[in-house]
Amino acid sequence: MGWLFMRDCGPFDGPRAYLDDQLTYVRDDHRLRVLRSALVGLRTYYAACERVTSEGERSVFAVVCLVRYNRRAADGMTFGYKDSAPLWR
């Protein structure tokens, strides 16, 4: 998968808060939430996420994203991240 770059983190304080928000949502058939996360060296984001289906089935899995964060980027694209394909089936 490729990188996704943007001009800023929107209303969020930084990359960690932005990614936590992206991984927290409710759908008709399941909900997802971040149990705990860390941004190490502004380079790697780690999160433990919980998915609960509408039937009550629970799974916990890890998310790892590479991060690039440079508030002074010459092209104005200050924040980018790259996630990987899920390792579960």
Amino acid at 29: D
Share of the chain above pLDDT 90, in %: 79
Q: What is the pLDDT of residues 6-38, one digit of tens each?
A: 998 989 999 999 999 999 999 999 999 999 999
Domain count along the chain: 1
Q: Is residue 77 part of a domain?
A: yes
Q: Is residue 67 part of a domain?
A: yes
Q: Is residue 30 part of a domain?
A: yes
Looking at the chain, the number of H-run helices and the number of E-run strands are 1, 6
Identify the pLDDT of residue 83: 86
pTM: 0.88
Q: Is residue 88 part of a domain?
A: no
Identify the pLDDT of residue 87: 59
Non-local (6+) Cβ contacts of 64 within 8 A are 44, 45, 46, 47, 83, 84
Q: What is the pLDDT of residues 26-82, one digit of tens each?
A: 999 999 999 999 999 999 999 999 999 999 999 999 999 999 998 888 898 999 999
Domain range for 52 is 4-82
